[in-house]
Each structure stands twice: as C-alpha cells, then as structure tokens.
Amino acid sequence: MADEVVSTAAVRRLVTAAMGPSVDVSGLERLAGGSKKGVFRLRLSDGASVVLYLWHDSENWWHTVREAESDLFSDASGLALFRQAHAQLAALGVPVPEVLFLDDAGTHLPADLALVEDLDGPSLAELLAADEAAAAPVLERLRDALRRMRSASRPSYGRVGPPSGAVTPDFPTVVLERALRHVGSAAGRDPRVAAAAGRLVDALHERATPVRPRAGHSLVHGELGPDHVRVDGRGRPVLIDIEGLMWADAEWEHAFLELRFGSHYAALRAPDLDEARLRLYRLALSISLVEGPLRLLETGFPDGPAMRRIAEHNLARALRAAGAAGPV
C-alpha cells in the first residue's frame, strides 16, 4: 500500500477517532510475516502500543493468484472473516487479541481495518527457541484451547458464520479434489513435480479410499503454527491470523500442527484422531505447501527465499510419501 495512505499523519487521525484526542501516535512500524494483510505496530504518546491490521488488495499478495472463489480455502482474508472468527473463538474462551476498533467503511483509511491490543509477550515460536521449559505450560494451555475448538460442532463444513445450506461434497472429498488441482498447478511450475505427478495422484487416491463418512465438523484455525500464537503477559497462548477459521475435520488441523510444531507436537496430540484422514491430509497439505508458495513466488513477494524454503521442504515430504508405503 502506498506510503501516503499508511502514513503517521493518516494513522494519527485514526487513533484520535478510536481512542480520543489525548492519545497521539509517536511511531509507525510495519511488522514482518503477513502475506494477506498489512500489520503495523503503532507506538502511542503514552508509552503504550497497539497493532493495526489493514485488509486491502495492495497488502494481499494472493490477490492476483487466488484460487476459484468457490474453493473453501481460497483467499481467507478480510475484516468480515476476522470479525466472525474473533467472536466464535472468544465465545469458546479461546484467547484472541482484544479488539479496540473496527472500520469497514473506509472512514479513516481506504481499507478495512482493525486496531487490536499489542500483546507484550513473544510468539510461541520465539519462546520454544529460547526456553522450552517456559514454553511447556503454554503448550498445555494451547492444547486446552484446541480441545475447546474441537468440542464445538456443526453438521456442515465451511467458513464460520451461518451455514450456506448448499449440498456439497464431504470435507475429505474437497481436500482430495483441491490436492489433485494443486498437483497439476505445481507440475506446470516445477519439473520435479511434473515427473512425479502420476505417483502423487495415485498416492492421493490411495489415501482417500479408506476414509469413511463422518457426521459433524469442529472448529479449526487452519494454519496454526507456533508463529501464529502469541504469548501474553499471563502466559496464555493467544491465536492470531484467525481469518481462516472454519468448520472442518480436526485431523486437518492436526496434520498442520504436526508439520509446524515438529518434536513439540507431542504436547498437542489429541486422542481418537482418524489415522486414515491424517494420512490423506498430511499429503494434501504438503502438496498445497508446494503449490501455494510456487504461485506466490511469481508475484514478487518480498520474502521469496522463505517461500522457496517452504516449497522445497514440502516437496521432499510429498515425494517421499508418493514413493513409499506408510505414513509421512
């Protein structure tokens, strides 16, 4: 987004409207890591700080490479999704950042926006790297939050908010069909995927075959890595980047947790997960994390090396899965 839009002067007017004329902005800092929205820390004149989320096409690197609009997973971004997800998680007692101000009318900036609390602790990824003992109780609390999310239930899968009522395939079928599309898309971008495409397709079908129908879906974050968990001053794990919250199989969440938490996943493991679903979702997730980064690399995304590392790591996982029997 252009500097003249997210300038200190523009943000000062926003903070005055949101927090009153006695509060001024002394500093504006863009925070790294986002690919779907702009995230900024606003330093305030009283020594406090808040975080500004901005949803605008110029802040969304996926805007020009999004999947079909009918895809459940396409472009999980926007203030409406944030608002619905925040309300859903807060109602379950799952910690999320306190919302201070929302605007979807373009009154203050030419974008949808939210002002939220600036959590004073590290990310869970930072805490795990610095002090595993200190991270242990945070992981236990995160496991409890995941239990709360899994205890919620809805018959149909889909985004948070009212069910659409449409007759659609079941969730594993949606995942399978998406993964098959991703194989074709990634094959056109990487010769190694093209060479293994047949094996990847066969492996996806083989893993989908034993998955049996299930009634009911629980809440899943969808991208819950340790970098999407902040630790507040009370040692609570606070979920961020929540716009992708949806009703789906808990195994979809746990396939991602396994991948992102690695050796620390044992503290989050849930009982009674369906191994057939996990095997399908592990492979589908790895293929997605090849195809998505390869598409994003075509946009000039500023942290291209990080996207390339994600694609390479998950390509190795996917190729191992397609070439050998047993779980990834």
Which of residues 60, 92, 117 is at a domain's end? Answer: 117
First to last CA, the chain: 40
Which of residues 85, 117, 149 is at a domain's end? Answer: 117
Q: What is the pLDDT of residue 266?
A: 97
Q: Are residues 152 and 255 in the same domain?
A: yes
Print the domain residue range for 38. 8-117
Q: Are residues 46 and 192 in the same domain?
A: no
- Among 209, 212, 166, 213, CA closest to 72: 166
Q: Looking at the domain assignment, is residue 266 inside a domain?
A: yes
Which of residues 117, 136, 170 is at a domain's end? Answer: 117
pLDDT band at residue 324 using 50, 70 and 90 as cut-offs: very low
Host H or E run for residue 53: strand 49-55
**What angle do the packed helices 250-261 and 132-151 form, to 10 degrees?**
170
Distance separating alpha carbons of residues 14 and 295, to the nearest angstrom? 35
Q: Is the pLDDT of residue 117 over 80?
A: yes
Q: Are residues 110 and 139 in the same domain?
A: no
CB 283 within 8 A of CB 207: yes
Q: Are residues 107 and 145 in the same domain?
A: no
Distance separating alpha carbons of residues 126 and 231, to the nearest angstrom? 10
Q: Are residues 98 and 137 in the same domain?
A: no
CB 83 within 8 A of CB 61: no
Q: What is the CATH number of the domain that holds 245?
A: 3.90.1200.10
Q: Are residues 273 and 128 in the same domain?
A: yes
Q: Is the pLDDT of residue 93 over 90?
A: yes
Q: What is the pLDDT of residue 327?
A: 44
Determine the length of the chain. 328
Q: Looking at the domain assignment, is residue 232 inside a domain?
A: yes
CB neighbour list of residue 97: distance below 8 Å, 6 or more residues apart: 51, 116, 117, 119, 230, 238, 240
Span 214-229, pLDDT tens digits: 989 999 999 999 999 9
CB 204 within 8 A of CB 189: no
Q: Are residues 287 and 145 in the same domain?
A: yes
Q: What is the CATH number of the domain that holds 84?
A: 3.30.200.20
Q: Looking at the domain assignment, is residue 138 inside a domain?
A: yes
Q: Are residues 269 and 294 in the same domain?
A: yes
Distance separating alpha carbons of residues 139 and 265, to the nearest angstrom? 9
Q: Are residues 305 and 253 in the same domain?
A: yes
Quick one: residue 195, left, alpha or beta (phi over 0 = left, psi -120 to 50 = alpha)? alpha
Tokens of 46: 């009283």
Q: What is the pLDDT of residue 35?
A: 74
DSSP 8-state symbol, 69: T
If one compares 238 and 69, the residue with the highest pLDDT of the two is 238
Q: Are residues 59 and 156 in the same domain?
A: no
Q: What is the pLDDT of residue 61?
A: 67
Q: Is the pLDDT of residue 328 over 60?
A: no
Q: What is the pLDDT of residue 326?
A: 39
Q: How many domains does the chain have?
A: 2
Span 273-313, pLDDT tens digits: 999 999 999 999 999 999 999 998 888 887 889 899 999 99
DSSP H helical segments within the chain, as ranges? 8-19, 79-91, 124-130, 132-151, 171-187, 191-208, 250-261, 275-297, 304-323
Q: Enter the pTM of the model.
A: 0.90
Tell me whether residue 229 is exposed, middle or buried, using C-beta atoms within 10 angstroms of its C-beta: 0 to 12, 13 to 18, 19 or more: buried
Q: Is the pLDDT of residue 43 over 90?
A: yes
Q: Are residues 109 and 131 in the same domain?
A: no
Q: Is the pLDDT of residue 34 over 90?
A: no
Q: Are residues 231 and 101 in the same domain?
A: no
Q: Looking at the domain assignment, is residue 3 inside a domain?
A: no
Q: What is the pLDDT of residue 72?
A: 75
Q: What is the pLDDT of residue 59?
A: 79
Tokens of 305: 């090396």
